[in-house]
Every structure is written in C-alpha cells, then in structure tokens.
Amino acid sequence: VVHYLKDYQAPDFAVAEIDLTYTIEEAYTLVRNRMMIVPHEVGRPCVLDGSAELLQIVLNGKCLSPHEYAIADEKLTIHTVPDTQFELEITTRLYPAQNKTLMGLYESGDNLYTQNEPEGFRKITYYFDRPDVMSQFTTTIIGDKRRYPVMLSNGNLIDSGELDNDRHWVCWRDPFAKPSYLFALVAGQLAVLEGNFTTRSGKEVALKFYTRPEDREKAGFALESLKHAMQWDEDRFNLEYDLNIFMVVAVSDFNMGAMENKGLNIFNTKYVLASNDTATDADFEAIEGVIGHEYFHNWTGNRVTCRDWFQLSLKEGLTVFRDQEFSADRASRAVRRIHNVRVLRSMQFAEDAGPMAHPVRPASYEEMNNFYTLTVYEKGAEVVRMYHTLLGEEGFQKGMQLYFQRHDGQAVTCDDFRAAMADANGVNLDQFALWYSQAGTPQIKAHGDYDAHNQTFSLHLRQFIPPTPDMADKQPMVIPVKIGLLDKNGASVAFKMAGTADKTEETVLVFNQTEQTFVFHDVAKEVVPSLLRGFSAPVRLDYPYSDADLMLLLAHDSDSFARWEAAQTLYRRAFASNLDALASVQPLPQHAELAQALTSALNADIDPAYKAVLLQVPTEAELWEDVSSINPEQYVCARQALLQSLASSMQDTLTHWREWADEQERNSRHHAPQEYHPDLAGVRSLRNTLLQWGVLATADLLHNIVNEFSQRATNMTHEYGMLAAINHLSDDKRNDLLNQFGQRHAQDDLVMDKYFILIGSSQRPDTLQQVEKALQHPAFSLENPNKVRSLLGSFSRNIPHFHAADGSGYRFLADYILRIDEFNPQVASRLVQAFNLYDRLEPQRKTLMAEQLQRIQKDEGLSKDSREIVDKILHS
C-alpha cells in the first residue's frame, strides 16, 4: 500500500485520556488499554491500528462479541460506536523476548524497552497510531521486584506500591498530551547516574541516566552534555524544560541512534557511554550532538509535533539544525560546518541522485521507516538553515517565537512552520515551499564579468534542478548565495549593490529565477568571487575559476568554508587528471602545484582541526557525483594515486606537523591530556589524518606505529587512529595488532564495534574472508544492529570489495540481507540501499548487481521495508 500526502484526512476521533496497565509475566506481557474516546462526527466506524494478539474488547463496560468488530490488515474496525464520549478497553498479549524487530515492546539483555516511532505503538495495543491524535497518558507497570526493580514511563512518577509474590507496581503520568509515537516504557535491572539542572525560572529538574550497572560511570560525559544542552536552549532559543524529571536510558540493541520519548529518552549505548579508554574524540562529539538533538526535540517535536509522517522534517530538519548550532556554539564552528557539508554532499547528494530520491517532505511512501533519511534529516536541516541565512538570527528567532505561540500543543505541517517564519518577518516565502516539494540537488552554473570602465563586477547565475524518478520538470527555487570578493592579492574588496547606500564586503544574493545577473558596483579592480560562503544553500555550484584563482581562495579567503571548498575543487581537478591518465595509460601527473598550495595552507596560522579537514580529499561518492557508467575500482585507484603523490611530495611537511601535534599534546596545559577536550581533539584529529597520509609515503611509519603502539595508545582516539592508519596494509603486523585489539577489548561491546568496522572497511585483498570469519566471532551477533552496521554496513561502503569485479561482494551482502530481513526489516532495508548505485554502474557490475537484486526481490517472505527499496532500485 502506498500512502500519499495528498490523501491526508483529519482523524474521526479524539482520545481524551489513555490509561495503560502493563503486567509483566515470565513469558509474556499483558497490556490493558483504557481509552476515553470522543467522536468528532457521528456515525463513523471506529478504526484502530494494531497487530498484537487481541484478548478482549470492552466498550462502555460491555464485552464485544466477534461480529461487532473486524480485524484485517493491521486494523481493528468496530462497526458501531456511541455518538458521544465512550470508554473502550482493549487487552492484548505481547511476547517481548521473541520480538527481534526492535519496534514496539522488546527485550534486550533481560530488560524491556520500547521504540514506537513511527508506528511501533500498534505492535503494543490497538490505537489511533498517528501523530495528530494526542492524548494524556497514564501508565501503570506491574512486575517482579528482582527482575524489574526499575520500571519507567513518561512524565512524573505519581504512585507506587508493593504486591504479593515479590511483585511491585508503579504509576507514571505525563501531563502533556502526546501522540503514541512518543510513548515509552523501560523495565529491568538498571543502575542510575543522577544530576540536576535548575532552569532559569527556578524549576529543579532531576536528571537520571539509566545504564547496565557496569556502565554507570560511562554516562558521566552524556550527563554533562545534557546540562550544556539545557542551558544552551535557554540562552539561544529561549526554551526551558517543562517537567521535573528528565530520564535517559541506554540500550545496546537499538535500530537507530536515539529516541526523544517525552521525559524518557531511549538511546543507543553508542550515543551515551564513553570513557577515554573506549571512546574516540569523535565519539564524545557525537554523544554531545545526539544528547542535544534528543533534548531539543522536547520543544521541536514533542511540544509541537507533526500532523502526519510526511511532515517528519518539520521536527527532524529543525532539530538537526538546532543540534548543529549547539555543537558549533560549543566549539570549532568552522570545522563542524565543513563536517556537516561533507556528510551532506557525500551521502545526501547521492541519495538525491539515486532511486530513493524524494523531497524533504516526501509525497508518498510505502514503509515510513524507509523515510528516516539523509534528505529528511540533513537536507531538511539545510532548508531550515536557509531561513536563518535569509532572515538572520533575529528574524529567525522571531519566527520561532511565533511558531511556538501559534502551535504549542499542536500537530502541524511544514507549511505552518514556513508561515510562522514569513509572518513574523513580514516577508513572502511562497516560492520557498519548493524546497519541500522538489527532490534533486539544484545545480548552479555561474560566471563573472569585470567591467573596468564602469567599475562593476557582474555575476551571472543559472539554475537547473535535475529530474528525479518522482518528477521530471521543476521550477526555479529560492537559493541564497552568500558572496564576497577578493582582489588578486587576496584582500577583501568592498562593493555596493544597486539600491544600497553603504559599501559592504559580503552579501546574500537571493537567486530565485532560472537565470539572473547580479551587479556589484564600485569595484575598483579585478576580483575573484568567493561563492556560496558557509555553504549557504544545498546546491552544486560551478564557476570557471582558474587553478590560480582557487589557490588564491585557498590561501586568503576569510570564509572558512569557501577556503576549504577551494581545496576541494583543486583535489577534484587533480583527481580528474589522474582518472584521464589511467584511462589512457599515461604516466600519472605529480600535482606539484597543489602540493605546494597545500603545504602553504598547512603552514599557515590556523587551528589544527581545520588543517585536518583541509587534507580531506573528496570521497568517491562526491567524485562520481555527475557520472554514469561508473567503474568504482578506477575511482579508488585514481583517488589513491592522488593521495600517494601528494603524500610523497609533502613528506617533510607531514612529518613536521605530526611531530608538532605530538608535542602539543605532551605539553598540553590540560591536566589530563588523554581526555576529550575540543582543543586536544583538534590536535589529535590532525595527527591521525597525518598518520593516514604518512603511511602512504613513508614505509617506516608502519614499523614506528607497531613499535610505539602500546606506548602511544594513551586513549581510544590514538589507539583507533593508529589502527585505522595501518588498516589497509597487507603486512601481517596489521593482523597482529588488530587481533590484540580485539582481545584486549573483548568484553566491551562498543569497542568491538570498532574492531568490526576495521575488518569491514579494510582494503586488504583478504577482506571478504576476514569479514566471513568475523561473523563467527563470539562478540558478533546478527541480531544486534550496531554489530551489523559495523561489520556489514562498513563492508557495504567498502568500494573495492563490495564492488569486486567478480560479484562476490554483492552476493555476500545479498545473502545476509535476506537472513536479517526475516527478523529485522529495518536493518535489512538500510543495507539494501548499498545497491542504490545500480543504475549508474558500468554494464558488467550492473548485471552482477541485477542478479542479486532480483534474488532479493523474488524472496516471498521479503518485508515491505526491503521490497520498497529493491523495487525502486530495479524501477519495477
């Protein structure tokens, strides 16, 4: 069944209150669900979503007999219900230990957890499982005292008591009306780490982090992150927490990163637990970001929620924007921005150019779980960022204020958000709506003319939105283009725009027609434009820069994104010449000028983390962005050769800065240099990047790493950084170190994920055999999504091995997709998307991929999750 946005219909019923009682027994859990239902209109049948084992239905105290209702396609229809408010009580029986989908109520490590977004609640009971039905939840949980000492749900604990037979009960009540997807329950043996936060109006909030007992101390960093997030939301967005308690529970079996259930967030352990010995700096940063993200959902998601799932980006795009700003305000704004852009360009642009392309607000879906995508999240965040760029911080905050004034407590649409932004600022944002309805990455062709006589610089822009499977012809969009001008010495040049009195050094062009020319006045000399500063729109922009222009921007641009972008373009050009040379069997160019420009950039007085990102070569996915008939192997070779030649000519510089980084850490003023700190993280990220480059140029470096391993591995960032640097080498020493690593951390679930990532992502020739062997490792489990993502997910992104010319990579992945799909469709359908490149591959690989895709497609028991993706890839 395909669901369409245009078919939206308001609900027929409201639920005034819902009262749930969970009775946890040894082999099953009983759920009694008592609802006070109010018909909006008379005479409509009552249709509830649900798939759980149904034991009983009682309507206004009377037990319904089978002819009074019908069950089909996960819907329960009660033919006749009263015209006015009535009480409906439904009892279901669940088997959480057997639930391997990790949706609804499931067991993990003897404890019980829920995941209900988007449509998990229907696996628990029969309900209007849609986000625009909001109700007040009261939850009673009854369970064995020893097995389930901790029993949690949303809101405040209002009562509890003892029962016979070593059992006890608790009752939670959430004063805020919410949709079913925000309902949560947790029960089991859990330790708690506590803290508190006083909101600015003086409310005392108890903060509680629940983990396995042995992990308790590892939640300390997340707890601190939460306090920072709460403070930041008050300072920057004027938003205060609204309950007296905020709980976070860590669970190791989890389909996604984390979930914002009201007052009771549930997190993948990966985004809560950290210690210096087990987490890298990047892990610490991810924890701070995800803790922020879920906390920020309390207002953008929970207090104001989505009318329907097509509007998912209303909460996700906005909340990703908020978490990105939180992280940027915490530290290293420039580097964070570049990091976000790199993710967007290498992954979301690929999604937009493939079979799954969809607008930020999808027009249709078969399985909603397939639409928790980079487009909805990351491109959605860029769309929110464009409001911010167009309206400024003040205007944007005015829009936020009006949004909450109008919609607090409601379930609304992306149009409501846009209207709040427009109305609060008295501007028209009608055309901006296209960002929500047109898929595909806009492409801009630009060129400039300098007129010395009139002292003007004219910038001509032309936009093109490529067709996507869902839509052929598209309309021009509103594209904010932030721009500055540099003279030939790299100094910023002031200019005047028509109709403005003052000169400025930077402006945001509002480019909203297919073709447009912008004229900069009072420009006294030839200039090089610095375009799309800060990556002001999620587009591809092409300007006919000379290499010298790009080197000028790389050396002097005051905008850190545009400066980095100049290096990216130079890398792309160097890569393209390598690809040509390989194709025509010519000797590879040496790229001496690029090496020189990079050397100067590295030697400039800039922050070490920024130096590290300057050394990032575009990913293969970015490099084949506008190519068809792709031979993935050639891309890896040409890119690798580029790295190799640059690393050899820059050897001395690389060594110099690596030694500098070592010294910085040794002489650090921080009391514990092995701990996470943004400054030290920057130094270490430079060091680890230099190690990766270094092993390409310096044969001895491998031996240094091996010899110094135990002494240098003072924390996980170093330990993992060294292993990653030598991970592709065929030397036996790589295997020895990796084995030692696996043994040393055998007991640590999250570190073992890193062990499996190293195996799955290695370019060594024996990788497939190593992956197959790792599947048998005692720490591996197909039922644990983190493990699957680590080993099989990283293999699916391992270009030379997944795309092996004999088809072995495709066949292997298809085997495991079919196995996993039987019990966890969500995880399987993510893996299927490794095949998204199908249509764009060269003919031989395309044929090999087709065989595997058809094999998956033919599987009769295939989930609708995986089927939707395979069908789209094969466009059948």
Using rule CB under 6 A, residue 253 touches ligand ARG: no
The H or E element containing residue 92 is strand 86-94
Q: How far is CA 72 from CA 45, 51, 69, 470, in A?
A: 14, 9, 10, 31
Q: Which of residues 24-83 bind Zn ion (CB under 5 A)?
A: none
Q: Both tokens of residue 109?
A: 């490590």
Q: 661: exposed, middle or buried (C-beta count within 10 Å: 0-12, 13-18, 19+)?
A: buried
Q: Which of residues 290-309 bind ligand ARG (CB under 6 A)?
A: 293-294
Using rule CB under 6 A, residue 323 touches ligand ARG: no
Output 140 or 319, the one with its CB closest to Zn ion.
319
Q: Which of 302, 304, 311 is nearest to 3 (CA)?
A: 311
Using rule CB under 6 A, residue 316 touches ligand ARG: yes
Residue 369 binds which entry of ligand ARG, Zn ion, none, with Cβ cut-offs from 5 to 8 Å by kind? ligand ARG
Q: Which stretch binds ligand ARG (CB under 6 A): 3-11, 257-265, 387-395, 616-624?
A: 257-265
- The minimum distance between CB 485 and ligand ARG, in angstroms, equals 40
Could you count the other beta carbons within 10 Å of the beta carbon of residue 548? 12
Phi, then psi, of 515 in degrees rounded to 5: -135, 140
Q: Which of residues 780-809 bind ligand ARG (CB under 6 A)?
A: none
Using rule CB under 6 A, residue 827 touches ligand ARG: no
Output 258 or 594, the one with its CB closest to ligand ARG.
258
Cα 857 → chain centroid: 28
Task: Give the CA dihedral 801, 802, 804, 810, nearest 10 degrees.
Answer: 140
Using rule CB under 6 A, residue 288 touches ligand ARG: no
Residue 258 binds which entry of Zn ion, ligand ARG, none, with Cβ cut-offs from 5 to 8 Å by kind? ligand ARG
Output 212 or 315, the one with its CB closest to ligand ARG.
315
Q: Which of residues 707-746 bind Zn ion (CB under 5 A)?
A: none
Q: Which of 168, 332, 225 is nearest to 680 (CA)?
A: 332
- The minimum distance between CB 386 and Zn ion, in angstroms, equals 19
Q: Which stretch binds Zn ion (CB under 5 A): 118-126, 186-194, 312-320, 401-409?
A: 312-320
Interface with ligand ARG (CB under 6 A), residue from 47, 256, 328, 637: 256
Q: Does residue 532 sit in helix, strand or coil?
A: coil
Residue 764 binds which entry of Zn ion, ligand ARG, none, with Cβ cut-offs from 5 to 8 Å by kind? none
The answer to whether the beta carbons of residues 144 and 169 sit under 8 Å apart is no
Residue 341 binds which entry of Zn ion, ligand ARG, none, with Cβ cut-offs from 5 to 8 Å by kind? none
Using rule CB under 6 A, residue 382 touches ligand ARG: no
**What DSSP line would sit under 315-342, residue for residue?**
HHHHHHHHHHHHHHHHS-HHHHHHHHHH
Output 123 or 293, the one with its CB closest to ligand ARG.
293
- Distance (Å, whole) CA 835 – CA 814: 10
- The minimum distance between CB 264 and Zn ion, in angstroms, equals 15
Q: Which stretch binds ligand ARG (CB under 6 A): 256-264, 430-438, 529-537, 642-650?
A: 256-264
Phi, then psi, of 83 in degrees rounded to 5: -75, -25
Catalytic choice (119, 285, 288, 294): 294
Output 292 or 742, the one with its CB closest to ligand ARG.
292
Using rule CB under 6 A, residue 311 touches ligand ARG: no
Output 119 or 316, the one with its CB closest to Zn ion.
316
Cα 115 → chain centroid: 18
Give me the residues paired with residue 364 across strands. 4
Q: How many CA atoms lie within 13 A of 318 on its CB side?
A: 28
- The minimum distance between CB 319 and Zn ion, in angstroms, equals 5
Q: Report which residue's Cβ sits closest to ligand ARG.
A: 372
Residue 255 binds which entry of Zn ion, ligand ARG, none, with Cβ cut-offs from 5 to 8 Å by kind? ligand ARG
- Write the DSSP symbol of residue 495: B
- The minimum distance between CB 194 and ligand ARG, in angstroms, equals 23
The answer to whether the beta carbons of residues 315 and 299 sit under 8 Å apart is no
Site string for ligand ARG, 346-375 (x = CB under 6 A): -----------------------x--x---
- Write the DSSP symbol of residue 375: I
User: Please, which residues have CB within 8 angstroms of residue 860's CB and are 6 or more apart in sequence?
Assistant: none
Output 290 or 523, the one with its CB closest to Zn ion.
290
- The minimum distance between CB 283 and ligand ARG, in angstroms, equals 18
- For the question of residue 842 being annotated catalytic, the response is no
Residue 372 binds which entry of ligand ARG, Zn ion, none, with Cβ cut-offs from 5 to 8 Å by kind? ligand ARG
Using rule CB under 6 A, residue 215 touches ligand ARG: no
- Distance (Å, whole) CA 469 – CA 483: 33
- Distance (Å, whole) CA 252 – CA 841: 36
Q: Both tokens of residue 404?
A: 């909450």
Q: Does residue 517 sit in helix, strand or coil?
A: strand
**What DSSP line would sit under 41-75, residue for residue?**
STT--EEEE--SEEEEEEETTEEPPGGGEEEETTE
The answer to whether the beta carbons of residues 23 and 55 sit under 8 Å apart is no
Using rule CB under 6 A, residue 49 touches ligand ARG: no
- Distance (Å, whole) CA 509 – CA 741: 52
Site string for ligand ARG, 91-120 (x = CB under 6 A): --------------------------x---
Using rule CB under 6 A, residue 35 touches ligand ARG: no
Site string for Zn ion, 316-335 (x = CB under 5 A): x--x----------------
Output 121 or 543, the one with its CB closest to ligand ARG.
121
Work out the angle at residue 53's Cα, subtended by the Cα atoms of residues 48 and 54, and round it to the nearest 5 degrees.
60
- Distance (Å, whole) CA 134 – CA 16: 8
Using rule CB under 6 A, residue 479 touches ligand ARG: no
Query: Which residues bind to ligand ARG, rule: CB under 6 A?
Result: 117, 255-256, 258-260, 293-294, 316, 369, 372
User: Active-site residues: which are they?
Assistant: 294
Query: Which residues bind to Zn ion, rule: CB under 5 A?
Result: 316, 319
